[in-house]
Structure 1
């Protein structure tokens, strides 16, 4: 298989990660959103490196479970059988290292061991009991073999150390500490292992703890070949010692590093993703992600996916009332959409809640996945899954009922100092995000006002993670002229307020300026929909995942209103420049933002407009290869397509661009054709992108923009109007 075979089916961001060049881009952090295909990217990266000439035995890939390592090994070897890539967990890597022979001597012998280290399970309680007998306090297992232990303590530990060195009986965490000590104190061993592995890859980077991080840094040294994949939004193992700071500090640790975001989610429908995107509102721009719907797994078949249902919030007085509703909805969906019981899940924060819902389902004669409860241990395959959110990570279900959304349950109880409580609450929010993103087609959030908890009946407060009950603008009736004046004033005020903020970002956060502008354009567009009272529906947004955004992209849309622009911003979920009349530059504050977007201005009163657009397009393609074009040139008053102008199509052919057709319906009623201040419905459909370069290749290198491309685009737009 060649490189294109490996890259087939990847979106532009996944492709960029697989092709990353360490020499040009240094260390790489892949911020992989939920359901974004990170395992596929990691395995294809390994395959690509082997295809590019990297000896497989020079590649080290670290995961957190033996199961994940085995899955990746199977995928890699499907293309390269018996490839000697070391795919393993941190603990198995450490054990492997300790058993290597370096300069005629086993590595463990360099650390003073008489016998090969043999790990066994042991609890912290057992270790602490031994320390207590030795009258040693405030001591970490990590320091058992450290040279920096105070002499008074070292004397007390001599016996314990000697027993371990003599017998080789270590606990699993000792392996990591010993590997670190070997690398940090023995130059020969450190050079040996750095020579052994040229490429280092780490999966689930957000979950590594400080010792594991130190181990990776020691193996890497001052080299650039580090490829890590993680999602800070899914860092939920702080109680195990995982340090989310490893992701937060990546850019500080590696000054020349590159960040690539995988934001196309191939699991969930857009409404679930829109909800999940609102969970984190105050994250640093550098690490922020926006999940976008790619092509949900079930969307090609089950109509439930195509419905793209809103996320629902159910308030119930008590769990019994809630359970009646759950059972009724499950039966309704199962019969109406031909779903299996295994397509449903009830997620909870605590195990004792899981037991309650399992029992309640059995009482309703609904099978529960796992043991059937009759004592014989028979496994039920087609049953409803009832799981804690921690256990559900990495899984997905068509329909998810997320239960117990009350203070003290979700988020769970946060204790300690103010800083400790904040840290715990941040992790609880990430846990909530994990639960939400398990839903593929339909998510229902459950809150009970009263329930038995910890031995007594309690009144429960609604979870702070649930969206507040927004008081709608009221949609009070007002004269149309007043409505329009109010809308224009609000939009201009928004633009004005954000000009100094943007200048501040340019001055003090220059690296994040583009990212900041992307978010603010989305925020502004949603604000416009609110003040204009628009109910917006976006159809076939998954087609955006088929666009190679690293190439020039010309978005072609029918033109009916000024409202087309904010609608387009929301539909595309990114900022885009557009070809506009230079007269618009005179509108206060609008001109400032149009320049920041990379808009191209034409003066319709003068000749030579096409030439000026041509030059501007060439200039813009160097930095922002995304231009919105209205091929009709002017706004249609009838809703039907006016004759197309060929300019945009000519530019598309000249630059071997991607043409992305979009169709608006109802935007004229938002402004120019508005008849009242009542809410109005608008929908926009994203059509299949057209790869002009591929089309040109199919036709022997010749493609006439006016005779070939323009009629093709016009037809698909007319078919969808």
Structure 2
């Protein structure tokens, strides 16, 4: 398969990652949201580089489990059978390195081994006995850290005999291999140059899970080169108890000053309402590393109707575990009958193994099949999955019952100093996020007020992680004129309040101003939906993933209301400006925000819109503009005649046109009849790549080739 074939099917962000040029963009950090196809990106990056002529033996890809390495190797070799890419875990790489012969000497001999290293299972108890025998006390470390070089000289001297015995016997534990590989790379120039020649491109999966020693190993393997390609998700860093340091991914852009950051935010697993909940989990997260998951059509969306329903996550409160289990069993049976779901489509997730045992026992008593359980000597495959959230990472299920959403269970008990408790609680929040994003179509969060735990009956408070009541209330009924006054006051107050905050953002977080504006625009749009009492649904949002947002994009939609602006903000889920009359800048607060979001203000008598857009492009900005092609706002749901001006702009700037059809927005304000809730739907249509069209045809007629094409698509969507 050629290079273009490898890239086929990737969204714009995935494609940018696979095509990344290290010489221009230096090291690359990919923040890959849950369900965003990170394994596919890693695999295709390796395939693409091989297709570009890179020797497979010069590519090194590091993963955390042998199973993940095997899966990636199989994917790579579907296109390049027998490709000698080294795909392995950190520990197996370190062992491989120590067994290489460099300049006639084995690498393990360079670091002091008398015999080839042979990994053994960690024996911390025997190690502690050995410490006691040698009268070494008061040292707070385990066997895994015996060769850590960060100890004070006095400590190093006291453990020298233990280290020497390992070097003489070759009986190592896995972490010894990492420390010795670091010694080899940092202390022996000949070995360092040997491995730098061996691997010219380095890729690392699950970067958020590497510990400090693995980080040093990666840095030593890379040297002063730029060819580092790492994928990770700081929101799924859940192995701090194993020594993983989330700081490695948080500091990446500081450690590598010239590096590039790409976010993978299109989720191909879950429905939009599940993703809305997932995004709210990290509402207060620092802006620089924030991601917004967007629904890219879950894998089951074309089949079972449960995916098309886009169910909102539910919170079930029960007084006792018995009441809770009766609800779970009834709902499982109901869903199986209504949607023809297999048992394996259901999962019960818990925080602790002890909880898992309880749910398995109850399911057995109810004679429901459990995955992995043995019956008559054979393992059940089509059964309900009951597992810890840690074990569920990387998996997904159509229906998830997330149990134990109570303080002390989820989040689990956090101890130690205030700083330690905060660190643990942050990891518990990330673990909750992992659990939420295992659900594909239907998520039920379970809170039980009372249950037996560790031998006694306990009362529990609901988890701080549980969403606030998501039920939309009708709100206070009021006359229409009062409702409109209420909306105007609320919206203007919101806009003014955030103008007051902006100077502080610019003073103390000036590098994050654009990110702050992006976030606040989305918050503003949601606020508008709330005060206007709009229930918004978006169809075919996954099409947005096929748009190249690094080029000018003109979103063209029918126009029925002032509410169309915040509706489009939420539909596109990006900051987007619009073309408007220049005099609008004098409206209080509105002019300020129009400038911030990149609106183009045109004097209708003088024109010059294309010139303004080209000037923005010359400054390195790719305009994203919402354009109403209709001559006037429609007075009903029917579209009025289009004007060709916006299409001429699209042709002159070789933009991408993204048509959208809005239904029902006129009844949110201009034609509103009362203060009750109203429904608005938006359908995203196939984009029109004007640049590609011009390249194919040579010249195009904006009115004939663009305007009529877009209008036809909108009319077909009605």
Give the alignment's TM-score, normalised by structure 1: 0.96
Matches within 5 A, 1:671-710: 671-696=669-694, 700-710=697-707
For residue 282 of structure 2, the aligned residue among 259, 274, 280 is: 280
For residue 335 of structure 2, the aligned residue among 333, 336, 344 is: 333
SS at 1:115's partner residue?
coil
For structure 1, which segment, 277-286 or 529-538, has the greater mean C-alpha deviation from structure 2 after superposition?
A: 529-538
1:143, 1:149 within 8 Å by CA — same for their partners in 2?
A: no
Instruction: Name the residue aligned to 1:397.
Output: 397
Alpha-carbon separation, structure 2, partners of 1:151 and 1:494: 59
Structure 1 residue 702, shift from structure 2 partner: 4.2
Instruction: Name the residue aligned to 2:622.
Output: 624
1:136, 1:153 within 8 Å by CA — same for their partners in 2?
A: no
Instruction: Name the residue aligned to 1:534.
Output: 534
Q: Deviations over 1:392-411 (max 9, x none)?
A: 00000011010111111111
1:598, 1:620 within 8 Å by CA — same for their partners in 2?
A: no
For residue 210 of structure 2, the aligned residue among 208, 211, 229 is: 208
1:193, 1:219 within 8 Å by CA — same for their partners in 2?
A: yes
Matches within 5 A, 1:477-496: 477-496=477-496
SS at 2:622's partner residue?
coil
For structure 1, which segment, 18-27 or 418-427, has the greater mean C-alpha deviation from structure 2 after superposition?
A: 18-27
Alpha-carbon separation, structure 1, partners of 2:154 and 2:401: 57
CA RMSD of aligned residues (A): 1.8
SS at 2:112's partner residue?
coil
Distance 1:487 1:189, change over 3 A: same
Alpha-carbon separation, structure 1, partners of 2:428 and 2:197: 41
For residue 654 of structure 1, the aligned residue among 635, 652, 655 is: 652
Structure 1 residue 551, shift from structure 2 partner: 2.3
Matches within 5 A, 1:142-541: 144-145=146-147, 156-372=158-374, 374=375, 376-469=376-469, 475-541=475-541
SS at 1:398's partner residue?
strand
Distance 1:582 1:151, change over 3 A: closer
Alpha-carbon separation, structure 2, partners of 1:206 and 1:248: 8
Q: Deviations over 1:183-233 (max 9, x none)?
A: 222222222222221111110000000110111111112221111100000
Structure 1 residue 598, shift from structure 2 partner: 1.4
Alpha-carbon separation, structure 2, partners of 1:291 and 1:149: 43
1:717 equivalenced with 2:680 (yes/no):
no
Q: Deviations over 1:334-389 (max 9, x none)?
A: 111111000010100011111111111121121110023x5x54200110001100
Structure 1 residue 2, shift from structure 2 partner: 2.3
SS at 2:62's partner residue?
strand
For structure 1, which segment, 124-133 or 418-427, has the greater mean C-alpha deviation from structure 2 after superposition?
A: 124-133
Alpha-carbon separation, structure 2, partners of 1:201 and 1:30: 11
SS at 1:370's partner residue?
coil
Alpha-carbon separation, structure 1, partners of 2:152 and 2:232: 38
Q: Deviations over 1:305-359 (max 9, x none)?
A: 1111111111111111111111111111111111100001010001111111111
2:533, 2:678 within 8 Å by CA — same for their partners in 1?
A: yes
Distance 1:614 1:129, change over 3 A: same
Which 5+ residue runs of structure 2 have no aligned equivalent?
A: none
Matches within 5 A, 1:498-647: 498-604=498-604, 606=605, 608-609=606-607, 612-621=608-617, 622-647=620-645
Alpha-carbon separation, structure 2, partners of 1:156 and 1:505: 52
1:371, 1:377 within 8 Å by CA — same for their partners in 2?
A: no
2:474, 2:676 within 8 Å by CA — same for their partners in 1?
A: no
SS at 1:278's partner residue?
helix
Distance 1:527 1:72, change over 3 A: same
Provide the aligned length of Structure 1 versus Structure 2: 714
Structure 1 residue 620, shift from structure 2 partner: 3.4
Alpha-carbon separation, structure 1, partners of 2:328 and 2:635: 49
Alpha-carbon separation, structure 2, partners of 1:146 and 1:522: 47
Q: Deviations over 1:449-504 (max 9, x none)?
A: 11111112211110100012379676112232222222112211211221243333
SS at 2:88's partner residue?
strand
Alpha-carbon separation, structure 2, partners of 1:521 and 1:508: 20
Distance 1:166 1:119, change over 3 A: same
Structure 1 residue 89, shift from structure 2 partner: 0.3
Structure 1 residue 704, shift from structure 2 partner: 2.5
SS at 2:683's partner residue?
strand
Alpha-carbon separation, structure 1, partners of 2:651 and 2:582: 25
For structure 1, which segment, 199-208 or 676-685, has the greater mean C-alpha deviation from structure 2 after superposition?
A: 676-685
Structure 1 residue 148, shift from structure 2 partner: 7.4
Distance 1:149 1:645, change over 3 A: closer
2:610, 2:652 within 8 Å by CA — same for their partners in 1?
A: no
Distance 1:378 1:152, change over 3 A: same
SS at 2:387's partner residue?
strand
Alpha-carbon separation, structure 2, partners of 1:569 and 1:157: 62
1:598, 1:624 within 8 Å by CA — same for their partners in 2?
A: no
SS at 2:181's partner residue?
helix
Alpha-carbon separation, structure 2, partners of 1:124 and 1:494: 58
SS at 1:271's partner residue?
helix
Structure 1 residue 669, shift from structure 2 partner: 1.3
Structure 1 residue 653, shift from structure 2 partner: 3.0
SS at 2:281's partner residue?
coil
1:63, 1:89 within 8 Å by CA — same for their partners in 2?
A: yes
2:211, 2:243 within 8 Å by CA — same for their partners in 1?
A: yes
Structure 1 residue 158, shift from structure 2 partner: 4.7
Structure 1 residue 171, shift from structure 2 partner: 0.9
Alpha-carbon separation, structure 2, partners of 1:398 and 1:57: 40
Alpha-carbon separation, structure 1, partners of 2:163 and 2:294: 54
Q: Deviations over 1:128-149 (max 9, x none)?
A: 2211221223154466446776
Alpha-carbon separation, structure 2, partners of 1:52 and 1:630: 43
